[in-house]
């Protein structure tokens, strides 16, 4: 028997907390690590670069997943002329939260300086039934910086018969160039998520969705190529040096296949991070 307190009391549960700061700079023809600070459950690793690849940072969440009330914050700075890819060791999981739990707060900030380029290529985000998520990606670009981002959401594992009957998701991507807003893309799902996804005007029953954002002086030139490889449940537009593509798929595996095709058009012959093959 337990004394007065209940072990499932929200106020008594331990929460995961993590902070990560990574900066890169250019040294000759190479991009090298400039500074690293990691606290709590957030870590970063730096595998040796392939001959045709950029310098890569692989993030890890040692807590094993994200639950309600967890707080994770990461900042990445790519200095003048540097080129860096930021990815994740595995798909991130947002687990079921207790009814009284605060949302899981995830904040990511990426700063890309003059003549620098950055890629934000995490693997899929897996959402479990009754998860409560508040996530933001904030990007600040210099005038001639380039940026590529992928955000993929999988609503339950199809092979396990999972569905998100209820949940709360607030997901924001905000990109600025020289302080001027280029993109404010917000997703908000509250309540019966699976029922909402079945609506024809929203996801028409798809269980996996992805957004690809590319900011570069020649972004519009890649639009036709991206449209050619998009699945039928997808679309893309480009304007003012920004390309935005969205796609739907019945499963996470089908979504990844479509993403790889789109990224090949944008990234050319450079290989994806090795963790994408694990």
pLDDT (average), residues 211-228: 97
CB 29 within 8 A of CB 54: no
Reading the block at residue 116, the tokens are: 């620098």
pTM: 0.92
Distance (Å, rounded) from C-alpha 93 to C-alpha 227? 30
Q: How many CB atoms lie within 10 A of CB 203?
A: 20
3-class secondary-structure state, position 152: strand
Lowest-confidence range among 50-54, 75-79, 103-107, 203-207? Answer: 50-54
CB 213 within 8 A of CB 243: yes
Span 77-116, pLDDT tens digits: 999 999 999 999 999 999 999 888 899 999 999 999 999 9
Residue 5 has pLDDT above 50, yes or no: no
At residue 262's C-alpha, the angle toward residues 267 and 88, to 5°, is 70
Rounded to an integer, what distance in angstroms lies between the CA atom of residue 163 and that of residue 70? Answer: 23
Of 17, 42, 273, which Cα lies nearest the Cα of 150? 273
Distance of CA 98 to the CA centre of its chain: 24
Amino acid 269: pLDDT:
87
pLDDT value, residue 42: 97
DSSP state of 10: G
Q: How many residues does the chain have?
A: 278
Alpha carbons 144 and 125: distance in angstroms, whole number: 30
Q: What is the pLDDT of residues 126-159, one digit of tens each?
A: 999 999 999 999 999 999 999 999 999 999 887 7
Higher pLDDT, 215 or 269: 215
| Block residue for tokens 């490889």 | 229
Q: Is the pLDDT of residue 1 over 50?
A: no
Closest CA to 137 of 154, 155, 118: 118
Secondary structure letter of residue 203 according to DSSP: T
CB-based contact 107:134 (threshold 8 Å): no
Q: CB burial class (10 A; 0-12, 13-18, 19+) of residue 179?
A: exposed
The b/e string for 246-270 (b: 16+ C-beta within 10 A; e otherwise) is bbbbebbebbbebbebbbbbbbeee
Tell me what pLDDT residue 101 has.
87
């Amino acid at each position: 028997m337990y004394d007065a307190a209940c072990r499932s009391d929200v106020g008594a549960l331990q929460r995961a907390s993590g902070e990560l700061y990574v900066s890169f700079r250019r040294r000759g023809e190479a991009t090298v690590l400039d500074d690293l600070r990691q606290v709590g459950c957030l870590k970063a690793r730096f595998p040796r670069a392939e001959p045709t690849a950029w310098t890569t940072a692989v993030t890890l969440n040692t807590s094993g997943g994200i639950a309600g009330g967890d707080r994770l914050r990461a900042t990445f700075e790519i200095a003048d002329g540097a080129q860096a890819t930021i990815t994740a060791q595995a798909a991130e999981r947002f687990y079921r939260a207790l009814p009284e739990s605060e949302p899981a707060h995830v904040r990511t900030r990426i700063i890309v300086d003059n003549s620098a380029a950055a890629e934000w290529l995490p693997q899929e985000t897996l959402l479990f039934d009754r998860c409560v998520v508040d996530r933001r990606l904030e990007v600040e670009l210099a005038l001639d910086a380039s940026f590529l981002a992928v955000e993929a959401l999988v609503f339950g594992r199809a092979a396990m018969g999972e569905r998100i009957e209820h949940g709360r998701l607030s997901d924001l991507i905000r990109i600025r160039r020289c302080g001027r807003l280029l993109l404010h893309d917000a997703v908000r799902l509250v309540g019966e998520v699976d029922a909402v996804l079945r609506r024809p005007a929203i996801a028409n029953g798809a269980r996996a969705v992805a957004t690809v954002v590319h900011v570069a002086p020649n972004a519009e030139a890649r639009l036709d190529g991206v449209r050619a490889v998009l699945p039928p449940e997808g679309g893309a537009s480009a304007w003012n040096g920004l390309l935005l593509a969205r796609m739907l798929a019945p499963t996470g595996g089908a979504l990844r296949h479509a993403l790889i095709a789109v990224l090949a058009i944008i990234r050319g012959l450079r290989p994806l991070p090795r963790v994408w093959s694990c």
